[in-house]
Amino acid sequence: MNIVIEKIVYPGKALGRGTDGIATFVDGALPGETVEVTITKKKKSFQEGTLHNIIKPSDKRIHPRCPSFGKCGGCSFQHTDYEHQLKIKESYVKELIAPFCKNILPIISSPEIWGYRNKMEFSFFEREGTPAIGLHEKGSWNTYFDVPPCYLADPHILPLVTLLTTFAQHSGLPVYHPKSHQGFWRHVVFRTGKRTNEMLLNLVTASLPNISETFFIPLLSKLPPHITSIVWSINNHVSDVVQAEHMIVLKGKDHIEEQMQINNQWYRFIISPFSFFQTNTFGAEKLYETVYAFLQPVQQDILLDLYCGTGTIGISLAKYVHQCIGIEQVSDAIQNAEKNKTLNHIENITFYNSTVEQWIQHADIPAFTALILDPPRSGISSKVITLIARTHPPKIIYVSCNPATLARDLHILQQAGYRAQQAVAIDMFPQTFHVETVVQLQR
């Protein structure tokens, strides 16, 4: 059927209607276009389809830079220019949160729109009987396509993918098969310091008899010197998630360091193989400066930073408040946070390794005056809502990577007596549908 596209809605879906008037969602179309779609799923109030043909293209449509666009699940908007991408993201953030916040500021753009990712995770897969390295095809957990290219990755990464592919092919060892759970090669993860130019290479494999650190010696001699850390992570878990039962440092340290400039102050941060760090370093600087501007910290504040990760937000705010407390469930992240605290000579911040919910339930919670919320995509839990309703912090800053769950939580917080004073979307992920949003709430 033919449909006319009205708008793009979160998460990056084009919404259109045909002569039947039913809302139809499709990937790859732009507002104003008339497109032919094949309906793949029907529900009571909407249907989903796949794009078959563009009958009337938008004047905003451009040719995608990457040949894998449409097949890869990473990028959503390479078929339109960056300024239009910003308008699309700003539009669906406004649509979702406008009922709860009237003062929505213009979207903040990313300093880089290509090559901005400081972390890339690739999978080994078998192609024509030999190991290859690639990314998941869109909507699939077990089909892949080759890289390079990938124009979101730091450009220093892609030549190394080719080198590692050659080494794996010459090794004589098979790719790990997710169904039979046999094989060796599983994943490769790169992490880069955009300002320090340090790079960490994390090779993730299953364990095999007689394979030890010496197996990688020929590879180490071929890798360029800017790879300052190389680790080997052994993972025998059935799940395809990148993790490690055992980690061996093959070269350098078990981490790299990054530097960030936030509010004209320089900070140093440790990044280990499995800890969270914002994937867009220069975009993260804008994000943290926005958090500071919205919080308006004073020296008397006691700041509670929930879902604190490696402590970047709390550390960047610590010198402006009396005390800061960070809560994070990932132990690697907390270990990094403690090192980051020392690196930056911060003494008035304390970190706890716990789920937010367990900490709320068992901790002796101080009388805090400001709250930072930076939850996962699922948003905040009922126990966090209960904590807020019980303690009534005067100031809340909500940092969200999912505007849909943000809207849900803003509605709940509104019922708890809070009003959103202002909000702004920050584009940390050019070419994709993802966007960060920061909201200032006051009681």
Residues involved in catalysis: 401
Backbone conformation region of residue 179, classed left if phi is above 0, alpha if psi is from -120 to 50, else beta: alpha
Between CA 308 and CA 325 the distance in angstroms is 9
Residue 218: φ, ψ to 5°: -60, -35
Between CA 59 and CA 104 the distance in angstroms is 28
CA distances from 154 to 74, 114, 120 (A): 15, 8, 8
CA distances from 175 to 144, 341, 343, 384 (A): 13, 40, 40, 43
Between CA 199 and CA 226 the distance in angstroms is 6
Between CA 120 and CA 108 the distance in angstroms is 24
Between CA 414 and CA 171 the distance in angstroms is 59
The 10 Å CB-count burial string (b at 16+, else e) for 326-352 is: bbbebebbbbbbbbbbeebebeebebb
Q: How many CB atoms lie within 10 A of CB 187?
A: 20
